[in-house]
């Protein structure tokens, strides 16, 4: 499940993933939110938290994640990934260099710090 995190400026899309994230979560929550923000802003910032109860992405979610990222490659101004999952932290650091924007990884305990960084 993906839920939006309220309370940040409109050019920042913030969300938290819980349990298993599915392609349906991307199609009903994440993708519409990205598209709506991009209608209002040329570039947006993303804060994506994988909560302590996050367990996995299914294959459809991984595919949708790749599609969204590639379709809007130049639309990202800044990305914060918040997770305690070591494999996601490592993958973000490895592939983050390919994105044309700053990407920073935080732990769940650093969520407040991530919110400050994404707004600066």
CATH code assigned at 16 = 3.30.750.24
Q: The pTM is what?
A: 0.93
Using 50, 70 and 90 to split pLDDT, how confident is the model at 75? Answer: very high
Neighbouring residues of 111: CB distance < 8 A, sequence distance ≥ 6 = 49, 82
Residue 99's pLDDT band (boundaries 50, 70, 90)?
A: confident
| Other CB atoms within 10 Å distance of the CB of residue 90 | 11
Compute the CA torsion angle 104, 111, 10, 26 (nearest 10 deg): 80
* The pLDDT of residue 71: 84
Mean pLDDT of 77-95: 93
- Residue of 59, 68, 6, 57 whose CA lies nearest to 31: 68
Total domain count, the chain = 1
CA distance 17 to 52: 9
**pLDDT one-digit tens code per residue, 35-68:** 999 999 999 999 999 999 999 999 999 999 888 8
Structural domain that includes position 25: 2-119
Per the structure block, which two tokens stand in for 75? 């639309």
pLDDT in tens, 9-43: 999 999 999 999 999 999 999 999 999 999 999 99
């Amino acid at each position: 499940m993906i839920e939006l995190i309220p309370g940040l400026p409109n050019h920042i899309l913030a969300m938290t993933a819980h349990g298993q994230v599915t392609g349906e979560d991307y199609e009903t929550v994440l993708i519409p939110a990205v598209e709506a923000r991009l209608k209002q802003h040329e570039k947006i910032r993303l804060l994506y938290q994988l909560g302590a109860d996050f367990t996995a992405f299914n294959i459809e979610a991984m595919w949708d994640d790749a599609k969204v990222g590639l379709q809007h490659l130049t639309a990202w101004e800044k990305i914060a990934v918040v997770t305690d999952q070591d494999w996601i932290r490592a993958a973000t650091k490895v592939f983050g260099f390919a994105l044309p924007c700053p990407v920073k990884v935080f732990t769940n305990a650093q969520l407040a710090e991530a919110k400050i960084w994404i707004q600066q």
